[in-house]
Amino acid sequence: MSKENDRDVLLYAPFESFVHTTFWHKLSQIKLEVDKLKEDARSIWGCYTCTTPPAMCSVHVDFSSFNHDFQDQPLALPMLGTIINKNTLESFKEYDKVQLLEEYGQNLLSSITTTEALKNPTLLSRFILLTYADLKKYHFYYWFAFPAMNLPTIKLLSPPRKLNSVFNGDQMQQLLDAYTNIKDWKQRPFFLVQVQSGNVSIRPLCDINLLNQRPHKENENNITNSLYLGFADPSVLPANPGWPLRNLLALVLYHCKGILGKQLQLVALRLQKCGDGQSWSVFSSLVLNIELPTEENAPPKATPSWIGWQRNEKGKFGPRLAKLSSSMDPAKLAETSVQLNLKLMKWRLVPDLDLDVVREIRCLLLGAGTLGCAVARTLLAWGVQTITFVDSGTVSFSNPVRQSLYTYKDCLNGGRPKAVAAAEFMKIIFPGVNASGYQLHMPMPGHTVGEVMLPEVKKTVLKLEQLIEDHDVIFLLTDSRESRWLPTVIATSKQKLVMTAALGFDTFVVMRHGMRHQMKDVAVAPDDLQLGCYFCSDVLAPGNSQVDRTLDQQCTVTRPGVSSLAASLVVELMVSVLQHPLRGHAPAEGVSDTNKTASYDSQSALGIVPHSIRGFLSSYEQMICVSHAFQNCTACSKMVIQEYQQQGFAFLMAVFNNPHYLEDITGLTEIHQKSEDAEVWELSDTSDTD
């Protein structure tokens, strides 16, 4: 067809897509948390407008597109869409786009041939969005299609005219008022414009049969009686209406057989801001005078075909690519990326994994040395958001090679406080973590507290009590036995989950402390099966182990790999405990089956939940052990907890200053005496025999 003849043919301005970044964020969330590996089609909303100046013929989608109902806004024109998100780039590329367009075109045709589109005109404007989301790089491949019937040639009988060349000022104002007062957003995109006795009104599209009997009389520029087919036109081109007109004309071809091959007048409604920036004008609207095809050339005698795939930035039919990694807030990108691998576990491997409880757990790490650093890094990998360090030491030159949260600079000028340096480095690794550090000198049994030290020790105890109260899981990672006693007592009293990791030269022990349940009607292990704490296997009270120690005894001397093994296991054990329905009260693997009921299932979503794990690097072995609470335990027994709760700091001072106090109140002194008496009697019996 020649260029001269092109002026006589109705041509349409195609839709352009505008995807807000919030749309991709919402799609990522749905992919990770809801759809996972599913590729099912999902209904979404888009919108366009007949107002200027937006981008020409643009369809907008954002986070609200995934709402169940359309989020109505003044003058917004809804567009119902379908998104199909593929799991791989290959399946995205190989998807049969022709078949997809044909399938949704037939759905559109069904709405046209029935009365659905007449009752709900928004069904005439739809879109398809085929996507692939690369959530590692935050690259989104996408391709929009706006299905439209490939209509036979429709002639323009005259060039498009501005509305003010046909309607007078009062009529244009009446048209504007009638349109802006449409309350039902389903009726905004397509309608009829009726002129009776010079007055303009809008009729719903379901009255389209009136076109078969329309009167039309013109008196210069003043129309007295007429009926127009109207639509909200997103185009700003002076001679080309927007894409929605295609399917509106298809509707006419099916429902208005009486005017096929005849003239039809259209109002392409375009709203423009007035000079005051507040009110609207229809001045830029167009009036189109077209000739419809004859019945022989129109559907259904001519089988309809479908078009609508959007061209890319190069003007070719193909997908587009949105790269969000460079435009996203780096901290937010880091946060979503951290969660990605964790959420992938739920897709196939562990669907019942509760990541929220892990992310929201508040962890207090007592000790920021080799174990503390390794535990913190593993907690970070599990997505834990709140991690607090407590340590009394400073970073020395021997630390950075074994303790992963410190660098050489932390050792200079006498060394930075470990807890503070560790918390700061955690934020360098991942800015989204809530990490903090406190330098506290832990009061310990057998470490005498003089009058001068009393205020500082009392302040430290109060701070430690508050920290334990504010956290959910307490990790005991210090390098001496007695430094674990005070936090064990406080945490047991406050019903906190306590995790312990301790190292030898080539051995380690990892365990969770047993918790006594104070609630009734809860299926937990009975008292005789109560799991023990770190001190339950000892018959000696913790004392001052810092006295008279050589250099090798003052330092933690272990094979370098032992701490990583223990740190990984203690965190994995904590996560397994959190996945069990009974949490910290979960029974341990190895408890005798004679007292075990169905509610004592020791399995969590991640497997068994042992009490303690002992490792031996020399033989590359691990053992799962169970030990029950010792009624004379110096840390978790009822006598100790009762004394702490009743006497408070006075009880603690007695323990700090008297190395035998704990043994006396727990009955260990009596046990020792009976043991010595038994030895004496045994020796006496032996002497008599001789």
Is 151:10 a contact under the CB 8 Å cutoff? no
- In which element (H, E) is residue 26 found? helix 21-30
Phi-psi region of 600 (alpha: psi -120 to 50; beta: other; left: phi over 0): alpha
Which distant-in-sequence residues (6+ apart) come within 8 Å of 279 by Cβ? 273
Which distant-in-sequence residues (6+ apart) come within 8 Å of 138 by Cβ? 24, 28, 323, 324, 325, 328, 333
Is 636:513 a contact under the CB 8 Å cutoff? yes
Q: How many residues does the chain have?
A: 690
Is 468:487 a contact under the CB 8 Å cutoff? yes
What are the tokens at 390? Answer: 């407590």
555 flagged as catalytic: yes
Is 516:638 a contact under the CB 8 Å cutoff? no
Dihedral sign, Cα of residue 59, residue 63, residue 66, residue 72: negative
Report H helices in 258-367.
330-348, 355-360
- Alpha-carbon distance of 46 to 125, in angstroms, equals 10
- Alpha-carbon distance of 243 to 519, in angstroms, equals 67
Is 416:394 a contact under the CB 8 Å cutoff? yes
Catalytic residue among 274, 373, 555, 625: 555
Is 559:505 a contact under the CB 8 Å cutoff? yes
What are the tokens at 254? Answer: 């099916």
- Alpha-carbon distance of 189 to 173, in angstroms, equals 19
Report H helices in 349-447.
355-360, 370-381, 418-429
Report H helices in 397-529.
418-429, 454-469, 485-493
Looking at the annotation, which residues are catalytic?
Answer: 555
